[in-house]
Amino acid sequence: MSYKSDIQATRFTASTSTAVVAPPVRLRGIIIASNSSGVGIVKLTTTSQSGSNLFTADVPSGDVINLNFPEDGIPFPKGIYVSTLTNIKAVTLLTDKYSGPGLTA
Model's pTM, two decimal places?
A: 0.86
Q: Which residues neighbour 53 within 8 Å (Cβ) at sequence distance 6 or greater?
A: 43, 44, 45, 83
Furthest-apart CA atoms within the chain: distance in Å = 43
Best CA proximity match to 15, nearest among 61, 64, 48, 60: 48
- Quick count: other Cβ atoms within 10 Å of Cβ 98? 16
Task: Look at residue 1 and tell me whether its pLDDT is greater than 60.
Answer: no
- Which of the pair, 2 or 31, is modelled with greater confidence? 31
Answer CATH for 7-96 from 2.60.120, 2.170.130, 3.40.50, 3.30.70:
2.60.120
Domain residue limits, the chain: 7-96
Task: Look at residue 104 and tell me whether its pLDDT is greater than 50.
Answer: no
Beta strand 81-86 with 64-68 is unpaired
